Amino acid sequence: MSVGKSVTRVDAVDKVTGMAKYTADIFPPGTLSAKIVRSTIAHGRVLSIDTSEAEKVPGVVKIVTCFDVPKNYFPTAGHPWSTDPAHQDVADRLMLTDRVRFYGDDVAAVIATDDIAAARAARLCKVEYEEYPFVLDQVEAMQEGAPQLHEAYPNNILAHTSDSWGDWEEAVSEPGLLCLDKWYDTPVVQHCHIENHVCCAYMEGGRVTVISSTQIPHIVRRIVGQALGWPWGKVRIIKPYIGGGFGNKQDALYEPLCAYLTTVVGGRPVKIDMSREETFTCSRVRHAIRYRLVTYFRRDGTFVARSMEEYSKQGAYASHGHSIAAKATSGFAQLYKCKAYKFDAYTVFTNTPVAGAMRAYGMPQVTFAMESHIEDIAVMLGMDPIQLRKKNLMDVGFVDDFAGTVNHYDSHGQCIQKGSGYIGWEEKRRKYRNQTGPVRRGVGMSVFWYNTGVWPISLEVSACRMVLNQDGSIQLMIGETEIGQGADTVFAQMAAETVGIPVEKVHVASTQDTDTTPFGLGAYASRQTYVGGMAIKQTGEMLKSKILRHASKLSGLPENMLDIKEGKIVHKETGQALMNLGELATHVLYSLEESEHIAAESTYQCKSNAYSFGCSFAEVEVDIPMCRVKVLNIVNVHDCGTLINPKLAEAQVHGGMSMALGYALGEQLLFDEKTGRPLNNNFLDYKIPTAIDHPDLGADFVENPEPTSPFGTKALGEPPAVPGAPAIRNAILHATGVAIDNIPMTPHILFERFKEEGLI
Amino acid sequence: MRTKTVRCTVNGVPVEKTVDVRASLADMLRDDYALTSVKIGCQVGECGACNVLIDGECYNSCIYLAVWAEGKSIVTVEGLKGKDGLLHPIQQAFVEEAAVQCGFCTPGLIMTALSLLNSGKKYTRQELRYEISGHLCRCTGYENILTALEKAINRRDNGE
Q: Which of residues 92-131 of B touch A (CB under 8 A)?
A: 94-96, 98, 100-107, 110, 125, 128-130
Please report which confidence band the pLDDT of residue B159 belongs to, taking 50, 70 and 90 as the band edges.
confident
Residues B10 and B72 in one domain: yes
pLDDT over threshold 90, residue B83: no
Q: What is the CATH number of domain A136-184+286-392?
A: 3.30.365.10
Distance CA B19, CA B67 (A): 8
| Distance of residue B120 Cα from the nearest chain A Cα, in angstroms | 22
Residues B150 and B104 in one domain: yes
3-class DSSP state for residue A172? helix
Please report which confidence band the pLDDT of residue B1 belongs to, taking 50, 70 and 90 as the band edges.
confident
Domain A461-605 class in CATH: alpha beta
Q: Which CATH number does the domain housing residue B30 bear?
A: 3.10.20.30
Is B54 among the domain residues?
A: yes
Say what the ipTM of the complex is: 0.98
The separation between CA A21 and the C-alpha centre of its own chain, rounded to angstroms, equals: 23
Q: List the alpha helices (DSSP H) in chain B.
A: 25-27, 89-96, 106-118, 125-131, 143-157
Is B117 among the domain residues?
A: yes
Please report which confidence band the pLDDT of residue B82 belongs to, taking 50, 70 and 90 as the band edges.
confident
Residue B85's pLDDT is 87
Residue B28's pLDDT is 98
**Residues of chain B contacting A683 with CB distance shorter than 8 Å:** 42, 46-47, 136
Task: Provide the whole-model pTM.
Answer: 0.98
Q: Which of residues 267-306 of A touch B (CB under 8 A)?
A: 275-276
| Domain span at B143 | 89-157
Domain range summary for chain A, segments of one domain joined by +? 13-132+197-273, 136-184+286-392, 393-455+608-760, 461-605
**Cβ contact A362:A722 at 8 Å:** no
pLDDT in tens, A369-398: 999 999 999 999 999 999 999 999 999 999
Residues B72 and B100 in one domain: no
How much is the average pLDDT of A335-354?
Answer: 98
Same fold, A13-132+197-273 and A393-455+608-760: no
Domain count, chain B: 2
Is the alpha carbon torsion for A214, A326, A137, A351 positive or negative? positive
Residue that is last in its domain, among B77, B111, B130: B77
pLDDT in tens, A128-139: 999 999 999 999
Residue B160's pLDDT is 79
Is B84 among the domain residues?
A: no
pLDDT in tens, A435-475: 999 999 999 999 999 999 999 999 999 999 999 999 999 99
Distance CA A162, CA A552 (A): 60
| Distance of residue B62 Cα from the nearest chain A Cα, in angstroms | 13
Residues B73 and B97 in one domain: no
Answer yes or no: do A116 and B22 touch at CB < 8 A: yes
pLDDT over threshold 90, residue A245: yes
Please report which confidence band the pLDDT of residue A715 belongs to, taking 50, 70 and 90 as the band edges.
very high
Element (H, E) at A513: strand A512-513
How much is the average pLDDT of A187-211?
Answer: 98
Is B50 among the domain residues?
A: yes
Query: What backbone torsions phi and psi does residue A170 show, to the nearest 5 degrees?
Result: -65, -45
pLDDT over threshold 90, residue A236: yes
Query: What backbone torsions phi and psi does residue A666 show, to the nearest 5 degrees?
Result: -150, -30
Q: Which of residues 677-696 of A touch B (CB under 8 A)?
A: 682-684, 688, 690-692, 694, 696
Residues B10 and B59 in one domain: yes
B127-130 CB contacts, 8 Å cutoff, 24+ apart: B128/A691, B129/A691, B129/A692, B129/A694, B130/A691, B130/A692
| Distance of residue B11 Cα from the nearest chain A Cα, in angstroms | 13
CATH fold label, A13-132+197-273: Aldehyde Oxidoreductase; domain 3 (3.90.1170)
Residues B21 and B58 in one domain: yes
pLDDT over threshold 90, residue A1: no
Q: What is the CATH number of domain A393-455+608-760?
A: 3.30.365.10
